[in-house]
Structure 1
Amino acid sequence: MILLSYFEPETNSWQQTTATQLPSHVTTVLPADARLWINLNDANAAEIQQVLQHFAIAPTLAEDFSRQRHPPKLEAQPEFSLLIMRGYADADFAEYSGSAQVNLLYSKQILISRMHCHNPHLLQQLEPQLSNGTPGAIADWVKQLILAVSASYLEKLINFEDEQSELEDVMLHRGNDEYMSRIMRYRSVLRKINRNLAYQKDIFSDAMYEEQSPLLRHFSTADIRDFYEKFERLHSMTDLYYDQLSDLVEGYLSTTSHQINERMKVLTIVSTIFIPLTFVAGIYGMNFIYMPELQMPNGYFMVLIAMALGGIGGLIWFKIRGWW
């Protein structure tokens, strides 16, 4: 289903219709004050191709726009520019069920959008805001969507800072495998969104230094720099949080390893002390008839004293050497 929102300059109002066939008067040449938003969220493949062919979108742009999953990118043809972005659609970083894909084709007066988002609240934020009496600029709509995408990450990252502080305190005092499992899930999610942010940061980074960048058709250098700084900051935050979680993992493993080493040290000392005593007990436990020591009246006590002195002497030696 194709949803059309057309700003009629004569009535100074928006007309919203549902159409399976594009009206004949909707072309790339519109009155100067007219605006057109074509929402393809609920359109099928045939309807999407109909719209793209109607506006003579280049095959390479049409193919990328039609995909439900595509890395963030920016590309242009003489009339239209293609911008693909990814927002964060989950409530937090406990799970990653998929990004919010934002596919935009836009010119000075026309915006063709297709959103793939399982979060209704975010989907509402990713739609242009229409108001009667003013047509608005397509560039302002695209800017609003770019800021909405960046905000979808920022809110979660700010909230995650408190969660990470709690994890640091817990892992310091009573870390266990359950918290380690949570940390590993967080790291996995952060690694995935870090890739998305890296792509989007590079889009605006390249645009700042390309004289023929498609973004310069609709945005000032200051706007592009602002976009870049937002995504660069988000990318840096995910890097920072990922490194801090990695430090927690390494710290927990080091602490666990140290605890195991201390236990092994105690077991080693005990074994070292009792191995000679077991050797003595084994000798006098043999059933030979001729063992002169067995006939000594005080032999039992003498062996016990010798064994006690041997064990105590071993402990003293460990203490002197600093092994215990």
Structure 2
Amino acid sequence: MVRVNLVKDGHLSSGGPELLAQYDASAGHRVWVDICGNLIPDNICTQFDLHDLSLSDAQRKRHPPKVERFENYIYLLQRGIKVFDADLTFEHVQISFFIGQQFVITFHHTDSLSVNAWWKNSQTQDYLSRAPILLVSRILNTMASRYLEVMLEFENTLSEIEDDLQAALSDEVLMELTSYRTRLRRLKRIFSYHEKSSMALGDIYKELNSDNEISYHLHDVLDKNERLSSLSQMYYELTGDLLDSMLSMASHKLNGTMRVLTVITAVFVPLSFIVGLYGMNFEYIPELKFKYGYFMVVGFMLTLSVSLISLFRFKKWL
């Protein structure tokens, strides 16, 4: 699917690829071409003189985010949001931006929430008319803001687990934290790419001596991507700390249980020895004929048990 927003003589026209026949760069027209599919049509590649290397990167379904400068445009590859839930379950859509002086082309294999949000936005004409990079910066800002919104909500989830670790100590929570850590590792890598590409994009436009407004917008995008990168790093470390704490608590709890069982064993070993001694089937055991032998042995066993328990308490093993 190809759709076109064309700004001509101060008016915005939206439609299909047929509008490209009206685009005239020498007349000061501005155009935004959005392509959703597997390939960029040859006529668009020819009309805007898109380089084979950038086309190859754009049409691959998996490629790290990057920025490259070509003769007549800047190529930017980012990962937008298709699905991003509060539990950090996410699905990306790869978005390529071909940013020229008077045109911008966005290409993605599936629908992009950020691109769709700006396609019919009331400010699209204004940003596109002033400079296509301003429109791109707003799309990137929306992308980063959506990521940031979910990441900030996720902080509450970790805080709830952290506030009551004892209550949260269960196999389900341990598995949940492990899955969070895995997703955060992937997000950390993506946000790091976005931070670097945003910085590179800003540096390119500084070299081009762009006006201050473009610098402000690109710096705003960079700020958000830097924050996303730092948040993902912080949450990654925090989930690791929580996992370590929960495993330590589980180990401590197990050690306490084993200590109690060891004490019980230590108390009953001498008692079992006495019972076994007097349970032997010998005909002549002197104590068996003693009138108060039973009471003396039981009393000795009770005294021994109390003494051992008292000793363990004194040693703080109980």
TM over 0.5: yes
Q: Deviations over 1:148-172 (max 9, x none)?
A: 1211111112222223322223434
Q: Deviations over 1:99-135 (max 9, x none)?
A: 232210110111111135567x544225474449983
Give the structure 1 partner of residue 14 of structure 2. Answer: 16
Give the structure 1 partner of residue 281 of structure 2. Answer: 287
Q: Deviations over 1:22-46 (max 9, x none)?
A: 85565xx6134201211111x442x
Q: C-alpha displacement at 1:287, in angstroms?
A: 1.4
Give the structure 2 partner of residue 196 of structure 1. Answer: 190
* Runs of 4+ that moved beyond 6 A: none
- C-alpha distance in 1, partners of 2:127/2:232? 42
Q: Does 1:138 align with 2:132?
A: yes
Give the structure 2 partner of residue 114 of structure 1. Answer: 107
Compare the two structures and name the one with the higher helix fraction: 2
Give the structure 2 partner of residue 252 of structure 1. Answer: 246
Q: C-alpha displacement at 1:72, in angstroms?
A: 0.9
Q: C-alpha displacement at 1:267, in angstroms?
A: 0.6
- C-alpha distance in 2, partners of 1:143/1:219? 14
The match for 1:308 among 298, 302, 310 is 302
Structure 2 gap ranges (5+): none
Q: Is the 8 A contact 1:194 1:235 kept in 2?
A: yes
Q: Is the 8 A contact 1:100 1:117 kept in 2?
A: yes
Label 1:315 to 1:132 Cα distance change in 2 as closer, same or farther (>3 A): closer
Q: C-alpha displacement at 1:315, in angstroms?
A: 1.7
Q: Is the 8 A contact 1:99 1:117 kept in 2?
A: no
- C-alpha distance in 2, partners of 1:187/1:312? 49
SS in 2 for 1:37: strand
- C-alpha distance in 2, partners of 1:110/1:322? 77
Give the structure 1 partner of residue 161 of structure 2. Answer: 167
Structure 1 gap ranges (5+): none
| Percent identical | 27
Q: Is the 8 A contact 2:81 2:90 kept in 1?
A: no
Q: Deviations over 1:295-314 (max 9, x none)?
A: 22222222212222221221
Give the structure 1 partner of residue 173 of structure 2. Answer: 179
The match for 1:278 among 272, 281, 294 is 272
Q: C-alpha displacement at 1:94, in angstroms?
A: 1.8
Q: Is the 8 A contact 2:4 2:32 kept in 1?
A: yes
Label 1:97 to 1:241 Cα distance change in 2 as closer, same or farther (>3 A): closer
Label 1:316 to 1:16 Cα distance change in 2 as closer, same or farther (>3 A): closer
Aligned residues: 313
Q: Which amino acid aligns with 2:241?
A: D
Q: C-alpha displacement at 1:201, in angstroms?
A: 0.9
Give the structure 2 partner of residue 238 of structure 1. Answer: 232
Q: Which amino acid aligns with 2:8?
A: E
Give the structure 2 partner of residue 100 of structure 1. Answer: 93
Q: Is the 8 A contact 2:31 2:128 kept in 1?
A: no
Give the structure 1 partner of residue 48 of structure 2. Answer: 55
- C-alpha distance in 1, partners of 2:119/2:206? 20
- C-alpha distance in 2, partners of 1:44/1:206? 27
Q: C-alpha displacement at 1:136, in angstroms?
A: 3.8
With the length of structure 1 as denominator, give the TM-score of the two structures. Answer: 0.85
Give the structure 2 partner of residue 86 of structure 1. Answer: 79
Q: Which amino acid aligns with 2:137?
A: K
Label 1:244 to 1:258 Cα distance change in 2 as closer, same or farther (>3 A): same
